[in-house]
Structure 1
Amino acid sequence: MASTVLPAISPVLLERGRVAVTLTRSPLRITVMRDGLPVVRAIEPWVRDGRIDDRFVRVTEGVVAREHLGAPDPIVSASVVPDPGAGPPTGRDPDAAPTPAADGSAPTEPPSTTLALRLASGVEGTLRISLPATDVVHVDLVLGARPGAVEAAPRIPLPLRMGVRWPVAGDLRLAGLGARHHPSVDHAGRRIQLGADRRYLGPGCAPEMAAVGGIPQGDYAPVPFLQSTGGWAAWLDTAGNGTQFFLDGGAVSPSVRTVSGPLRLRLHLHPGPAQRLLAFQRATGRPALLPAWGYGFWKSRDIHDHQDQVEEDVHGCRWHEIPVDAVVLDSPWETNYNTWRPNPHQFPDFAGMVGRLRGDGVRTVVWVTPWVNVDSAGGQTPPDPASIRLHRQPAETYAEGARIGAYVRPPAGATGDHAHAVKVAMRDDERDDLADLADGDAPYLAQWWMGRGSPIDFTGPGEAWWRAQAEATLRLGVAGIKADDGEGYYLPEGVRFADGSTGAVRAWRWGDDYRRSMRRALENVHPGEGVLFGRSGWTGQQATGMLWAGDQASDFWSLRVLLAATVSAAHSGISNWSHDIGGYLGDAGVKRCSAELLVRWAQLGCFTPLMQAHARLEQEPWTYDHETLGLFRGYALLHEMLVPYVRAAARTAARSGLPIIRPLSWLDPADDRLWGIPDAFAYGPSLLVAPVVDEGLRERTVPLPRGRWIEAWSGREVDGGGTATVATPRDRTPVWVRAGSIVLTHPAEHVARGLGDAPDRERPYVATLWGRPANGRARAALPDGTPVRWVHGRWKLPAEWDVWAGERGG
């Protein structure tokens, strides 16, 4: 944005603790300091008009982002508003609390200042800066607001986009922004539109698509939270499509489309990346703590034609001695999309099947998306004629949902078209039921990847209606929900919700509404025991269940990018994380993954909180050679053995926000080389994992954070701060243990079939001390937090638990 010449005044100074903010108006700039040193320098607001030309590719759920922006709309006047009004524009951040007075008297409002702005186009606005908590700075830019009002109606059409920009050093590292499916975890130099930042460039990409940047794919789990090596993290508190972080040209520039509401920038200035993440999670929710089976091994496949195939999946694991804790019924399993009613032709004894599996220690998880269809011709259908007939009709629950207002409504100017389309799609008897449906109450009707239907509106009566159907299915014994879909790119700006909001402001909050509804259903039926397994992400996702990485191709390029997404997700606070072992889509969409790739993917899955096998094609490990089967079995068993260790890390995440998987840079933030590592991570407090993601690789060189580390396979102790080169034969993935750590596991024989149902205190545990702690003391925690200690050569084990202790390495 061009420099703005305004009357010169002395800088406005806000102070709270170690943080100070100066505001100058000639030109208009904000500088944030900590301990007297600039941390974020010369933040400049900017506004530009333009037009949107985004394109959604439904078949791959990819967004091709295009905007045509005009010249900047400069700020021509900025005057201090004497009364800033009541509180900051957003009510979601609990950090925004009154400041306690030093003398114990009544607390005062957080330090703040507000400027009334006028742009060259005549548009008015406000800029508010506040310090709601120690080491937190809020910058709120609102357009269409007159002085003294926070969000008054605009008198002039608003420009397309508004943002802020500040210069940064050329060596600054930038990380996070959700599960970035990109080879790099350092996003400096990139331009990212959240929800539109994923392209496939693997071996299955045609040259003509590679020439235009790759095949656009679903960007399922963006999070508008950016970490840096500059002493700050930036969160945009928004939920609109089109949220951008431009990180090139020697600057950082987050921005939003004006239709999505105010630009709400929250700067966290805490001394380390972990502390900044924890501050973000204090405002948005800490990771959910799942029951033990939510961290086990799950078996799934794309379509179970009949319930016999479900039982075949479980029996296959039993016959080949692979532990299994849950089986997932993916699409289709219902009478139609999405009725929550088991298809009787596909599952002639659904409740009996679920009960038999549960009696064998295996839970059932069912797939769903937040759409109800009028036409499922484009979706997957079981092959039997009766099931095909069911899917040729509108979902039997659709008309009821339309009558009660359960669906998102179309934009105001398109209600008549949608009402007509809904009535035409209905059966004759249902059409009569909907004859009195007013155009203004008609559902929004759109194409999605399993047909044509209407999305659920979770802000009105649709939430209870939808949740009641979920609870009825859960009462049949189903223990988990695979909550697919829910991404904001399916909702146009103009669609309307029952609470009065629109897609422009709520698009990416829709997925959060969906997940919270499903979480509530699980808690109502299976309190403390149900598991939510979802795909969509945004601010707050970490608090509602497990996230999986969505659809991957079955090739090493995709495995490498998935591992980078794993690290980026951890930078963003996502703790409960999973992925489809072997890749869901197949190799070029037509071949199953190779035996080597299946093993390497299983090795990554072993060190992922939930290990889950799911694919379109036949990728069951017992359909490969004996060596591949044996290696898969071994890593699945190791994953089950590590569940106590993972649960302790998950408990830490739920209490503090620190995720189970942790970027290497968090172990030593001062080591700049660790910020760019996309293919290694810390797993809980004591393990460092460097999965092999290159075909045929038989040796890896890995940077180690400072400290002493023990190679898990050899027991050899090495010093960190440099690099370690290790052999990587097909049966081995590099793992190090922090010297002096206790790692708690289950004995192999206890989990050979799966985790089962034994209460925590009746399970056996093995405590292994790796090397010698430098201070003579080591500690680990059992699932409820009970400590296991080693003090100066002696174990201190809780008498009420079955814990065996030993030592290894060092």
Structure 2
Amino acid sequence: MKSKYWLVLILCLGLNGILQAQTFKVDKNEVIFKSSQGDMRIQMCNDKMFRVTKSPNTFFPENEEWMVVKYDFDRVDYQVKAVTNGNEITTSSLKILVLSNPWRISVKNTDDTLIYKETATCITGQPMNECVMQPDEHFFGFGERMDFLDQRGQKVHLNVELGRGSKPAVGGKDILRANYCPVPYFMSNKGYAIFFHTADPTDWDMGWSKRDAYTYSATGGDLDYYFILGPSFESMLRNYQTLTGVCPLMPRSAYGLHIGSYSGGTWKYEECTTDQYPIDLVHRLRKEGVPFDLLWLDSTWRLFNKKFGNGGCCFEFRDTFKNPQAMIDSIYANHVDMFGLHIRSIMDNGNHNTLFDDAVKAGVVYPKADCEGIINFFDPKATDWWWKNGVMRIASMGVKFVKTDCGGSLRFPEGTTFEKGFSADQLHNLFPIAYAKAPYEKFQDYNNQRGLNHTREGYAGIQRYPFIWAGDWGTEWQWFEPVIRGGLNIGLSGVGYWAHCMGGFEQYSPYDTDLYIRWCQFGMFSPVSILFGMDHPRYHEPWTYGPEALATFIKYDSIRYTLIPYLYSNAYRMYKTSRPLMTPLLYDYPDDELTYRISDQYMFGTAMMICPVTTKGALSRPVYFPGGKWVDFWTGERIEGRQHKSFLTPPDLMPIFIKEGAIIPKQPAMQYMGEKKVDEILLTIFPSGTSSYDLYEDDGKSLDYMKEVYSITSIKSMLKDGVWRLTIEKPRGKFVPDKHSYRIEAFWDSKPLHVFQNGKLLKEIPLGDLGQQEGWSYDEEMGKVWIKTNLTNRDIVQLQIE
């Protein structure tokens, strides 16, 4: 838009048929429309995204900093012109028709296909838009919801809470409506997304009341929203994260297993806790060969004071912890990379400090009774005080992160305001972001490494402070698949780092080993893997379920550790492209409506389809294969897409399938990150057509990757006319990775005639004798060709199979 500012007066017919005067002005990326019934502002962000704000007067809301972190955009090339029934804004990708009295918009693509159309709106009281719902339109997102993937035909209420329906016997939360992490954002299969830019509670009638319309409304505030044109889910998520922030990389060790512990005594058993229990737990985990890297102690490490009981936090260890510093030192001595503690946002006095009293005197806590003692994390001075006087008591001992529990269960009284004028309802939904941000950034600065925070509640923008976990769901089969669904929905809402308590959290029924095994199998293929439960006295420790359960746990845990190069590379891809680590099948197959209803299968990274067994005692399960070809991870069986097929599922087997074209880098199995030098990378490949993979490497801890200090190794596979060529380039970038060679396992239907390396014939070696010797072997039973090359990442490696 070349004109800096101009004003146009036009006449058009209103809804009542009377000619009405309208004006609009244009300044840089902003167009403001005026009429007798209020104003509307459209702000162009890029050629596919714009912001709409409707106001009953001439005032528009100030830009907040908690949900949206980017408001300034480069100049967008667009045009505005008067048309017969209103005004039209066009970019290279879309056309926006603006109608007035009341203000409504509709959006078409460059082919003149209608994408989005508002039919009614309200800008006072409870702001609302009603929109046309197309006959075959479906909606995905809305945050961490356990009820459905596709919300067409449903009513959705979004507010940070435990749900408003009846509670189950185990867990005490309304799992189908719980909103630990609601996100007022959805994506349509019609190629657009809506982000309702409000912190007020919102309601979404997605065809519940009308079969041809949907509405979104808020309990107060402004009608302020972003429209994002796709067409792909990934491009929509990228633009959404352009607004609300990307998912940063975690410390590399955080992609390993996290262990949580009650130190021997959960609630009502607090006196059973000891500082020896965590040490013994670490020793036992190492003795049994359970790979893990992170450990945190949950709530019962803390002294529970009389004022707030277990809800307050005085940052003092219980008296049963005789020597906390020695405990922490011992834990680190056993190759735990990061040690953390569970906290609450309420300050309390301890036996040896007056933290609550001091916080009140300092004016850093809310004074109202309903939230007495809560640190005002919106205020940087209060956050600084909290860090210096509270958290530093444990950070100075070696604690590297905290678990910020209960960020949304406390209500702010009406009249509570922030200096920028947020209402009590808005503060309630934004508080989890401020609560997670404070320790994430403080520990990041103090430890001089990437931040990490373990939190339960969230809202739009929480992805900036990973990670979030699914909360305290009961250890019952009926909650297993809904938890998987919650992970898929939250990923579609821009929150890529998500975890859950493997095996469930609260357990009042008899122990179910089958459920434990199946849930842990799924947990090892989740974005973040944590083992934790309050089932005193066992606490989900795998050996307490018997030797077979322990062996299965170690099997899948070890697989996760071998997949770290694949997982880490996909994490970097998420940082750059916004593709979640865990996606429902509909993400890659939006034209296949069968995938809209599948929530017990998902893609882990770009190449692996994971199929958890969610039925008690199941010895087999059906699997749906979208288009293309697939291969069984365990047996090597080739499967054609677009079909259902049943597979045997003995207790130690969860079906896993590899997508055609896959290139999956792996490392040797290890007990913790860095236990062994990775001197060989294994590439698992399913050759098909032309495909590629970028192996990402960096130092695993620092923020230098944001300055492009990393390396990328491009791996390219091409199968044509029965000849397969694999090229592994030298790493490129500012980071120099350790030297390593390569081993390849490729799914190949028949024994090769010849295998060439950089133009020279490689010799065939008997299967099992490959070892460190350069050459190739063929596994007839699995249909795999194995290739060992002594060339390293200091060389270009070119392999050819005929």
Length-normalised TM-score, structure 2: 0.73
Offset, 1:340: 5.6
In 1, the alpha carbon distance for the partners of 2:679 and 2:528 equals: 21
Counterparts of residues 61-140 of structure 1 (less than 5 Å): 92=68, 94=70, 97=73, 99-100=75-76
Deviation per CA, 1:667-688: give whole Å up to 9, x if none: 1211121122111111111111
Deviation per CA, 1:730-767: give whole Å up to 9, x if none: 1111111122322112212xx1x222477xxx534433
Whether the 8 Å contact between 1:564 and 1:679 is mirrored in structure 2 is yes
Residue identity in the other structure for 2:673: L
Of residues 194, 198, 213, the one that matches 2:158 is: 194
Q: Counterpart of 1:608?
A: 526
Whether the 8 Å contact between 1:364 and 1:478 is mirrored in structure 2 is yes
Q: Counterpart of 1:346?
A: 320
In 2, the alpha carbon distance for the partners of 1:231 and 1:88 equals: 29
Question: Residue 678 of structure 1 aligns to a residue in which SS?
Answer: coil
Counterparts of residues 505-544 of structure 1 (less than 5 Å): 505-544=426-465
The 1:803–1:545 alpha-carbon spacing in structure 2 relative to 1, beyond 3 Å, is farther
Whether the 8 Å contact between 1:286 and 1:654 is mirrored in structure 2 is yes
Mapped pair 1:225 → 2:185 = yes
Residue identity in the other structure for 1:97: F
Residue identity in the other structure for 2:342: W
Counterparts of residues 715-794 of structure 1 (less than 5 Å): 715-748=636-669, 751=670, 753-756=671-674, 762-775=677-690, 779-782=694-697, 784-791=710-717, 792-794=724-726
Deviation per CA, 1:672-725: give whole Å up to 9, x if none: 211221111111111111111111122222222222211101111222233332
The 1:162–1:663 alpha-carbon spacing in structure 2 relative to 1, beyond 3 Å, is same
Deviation per CA, 1:238-281: give whole Å up to 9, x if none: 112x21112112222111112xx212121212211221111111
Offset, 1:328: 1.1
The 1:93–1:529 alpha-carbon spacing in structure 2 relative to 1, beyond 3 Å, is closer
In 1, the alpha carbon distance for the partners of 2:518 and 2:478 equals: 12
Mapped pair 1:257 → 2:215 = no
Q: Counterpart of 1:6?
A: 16
Counterparts of residues 648-687 of structure 1 (less than 5 Å): 648-687=569-608
Of residues 724, 735, 746, the one that matches 1:808 is: 746
Residue identity in the other structure for 1:770: I
Residue identity in the other structure for 1:244: D
Mapped pair 1:324 → 2:292 = yes
Whether the 8 Å contact between 2:25 and 2:33 is mirrored in structure 1 is no
Whether the 8 Å contact between 2:263 and 2:277 is mirrored in structure 1 is no
Whether the 8 Å contact between 1:488 and 1:509 is mirrored in structure 2 is no
Whether the 8 Å contact between 1:287 and 1:654 is mirrored in structure 2 is yes
Of residues 198, 203, 220, the one that matches 1:244 is: 203
Offset, 1:95: 5.8
The 1:355–1:665 alpha-carbon spacing in structure 2 relative to 1, beyond 3 Å, is same
Moved more, 738-747 or 90-99: 90-99
Question: Residue 300 of structure 1 aligns to a residue in which SS?
Answer: strand
Whether the 8 Å contact between 2:408 and 2:432 is mirrored in structure 1 is yes
Whether the 8 Å contact between 1:738 and 1:770 is mirrored in structure 2 is no
Q: Counterpart of 1:365?
A: 340
Residue identity in the other structure for 2:690: N
Q: Counterpart of 2:425?
A: 504
Of residues 131, 141, 146, the one that matches 1:181 is: 146
Q: Counterpart of 2:370?
A: 446
Whether the 8 Å contact between 2:375 and 2:383 is mirrored in structure 1 is no
In 2, the alpha carbon distance for the partners of 1:457 and 1:651 equals: 30
Question: Residue 239 of structure 1 aligns to a residue in which SS?
Answer: coil
Mapped pair 1:597 → 2:573 = no
The 1:803–1:663 alpha-carbon spacing in structure 2 relative to 1, beyond 3 Å, is farther
Whether the 8 Å contact between 2:121 and 2:128 is mirrored in structure 1 is no
Whether the 8 Å contact between 1:298 and 1:326 is mirrored in structure 2 is yes
Whether the 8 Å contact between 2:661 and 2:686 is mirrored in structure 1 is yes
Mapped pair 1:796 → 2:696 = no
Question: Residue 316 of structure 1 aligns to a residue in which SS?
Answer: helix
The 1:720–1:313 alpha-carbon spacing in structure 2 relative to 1, beyond 3 Å, is same
Deviation per CA, 1:352-389: give whole Å up to 9, x if none: 22122112211311111211247xxxxxxxxxxxxxxx
In 1, the alpha carbon distance for the partners of 2:117 and 2:133 equals: 19
Residue identity in the other structure for 1:352: A
Offset, 1:530: 4.2
In 2, the alpha carbon distance for the partners of 1:215 and 1:662 equals: 21
Structure 2 unaligned residues grouped into runs of 5+: 1-13, 43-48, 80-88, 265-272, 305-310, 699-709, 718-723, 732-737, 749-802
Of residues 618, 634, 657, the one that matches 1:697 is: 618
The 1:697–1:10 alpha-carbon spacing in structure 2 relative to 1, beyond 3 Å, is farther
Mapped pair 1:282 → 2:255 = no
Whether the 8 Å contact between 1:642 and 1:746 is mirrored in structure 2 is yes
The 1:98–1:143 alpha-carbon spacing in structure 2 relative to 1, beyond 3 Å, is farther
Whether the 8 Å contact between 1:175 and 1:228 is mirrored in structure 2 is yes
The 1:334–1:506 alpha-carbon spacing in structure 2 relative to 1, beyond 3 Å, is same
Question: Residue 354 of structure 1 aligns to a residue in which SS?
Answer: helix
In 1, the alpha carbon distance for the partners of 2:410 and 2:302 equals: 25
By relative contact order (CA 8 Å, sep 6+), the higher-ranking structure is 1
Deviation per CA, 1:172-225: give whole Å up to 9, x if none: 22111111022x21111221111357478898479xx9xxx9688752111111
The 1:164–1:102 alpha-carbon spacing in structure 2 relative to 1, beyond 3 Å, is closer
Q: Counterpart of 1:585?
A: 506
Residue identity in the other structure for 2:236: R
Whether the 8 Å contact between 1:367 and 1:484 is mirrored in structure 2 is yes
Q: Counterpart of 1:379?
A: none
Residue identity in the other structure for 1:279: N
Q: Counterpart of 1:315?
A: 283
What is the Cα-based RMSD across aligned positions, in Å?
A: 4.4
Deviation per CA, 1:545-578: give whole Å up to 9, x if none: 1111101100111111101111111111111111
Structure 1 unaligned residues grouped into runs of 5+: 33-38, 47-77, 118-125, 145-157, 375-389, 409-442
In 2, the alpha carbon distance for the partners of 1:543 and 1:116 equals: 38
Residue identity in the other structure for 1:597: L
The 1:352–1:176 alpha-carbon spacing in structure 2 relative to 1, beyond 3 Å, is same
Whether the 8 Å contact between 1:743 and 1:780 is mirrored in structure 2 is no
Deviation per CA, 1:633-687: give whole Å up to 9, x if none: 1111112221221111111111222111112111121112112211111111111
Residue identity in the other structure for 1:600: R
The 1:303–1:360 alpha-carbon spacing in structure 2 relative to 1, beyond 3 Å, is closer
Q: Counterpart of 1:413?
A: none
Whether the 8 Å contact between 1:680 and 1:688 is mirrored in structure 2 is yes
Residue identity in the other structure for 2:303: T
Q: Counterpart of 1:548?
A: 469
Length-normalised TM-score, structure 1: 0.73
The 1:236–1:673 alpha-carbon spacing in structure 2 relative to 1, beyond 3 Å, is same
Whether the 8 Å contact between 1:180 and 1:198 is mirrored in structure 2 is no
Residue identity in the other structure for 1:270: G
Percent identity for Structure 1 against Structure 2: 20
Of residues 262, 274, 293, the one that matches 1:306 is: 274
In 1, the alpha carbon distance for the partners of 2:695 and 2:638 equals: 21
In 1, the alpha carbon distance for the partners of 2:17 and 2:640 equals: 59
Of residues 354, 365, 390, the one that matches 1:396 is: 354
In 1, the alpha carbon distance for the partners of 2:135 and 2:39 equals: 21
The 1:202–1:597 alpha-carbon spacing in structure 2 relative to 1, beyond 3 Å, is farther
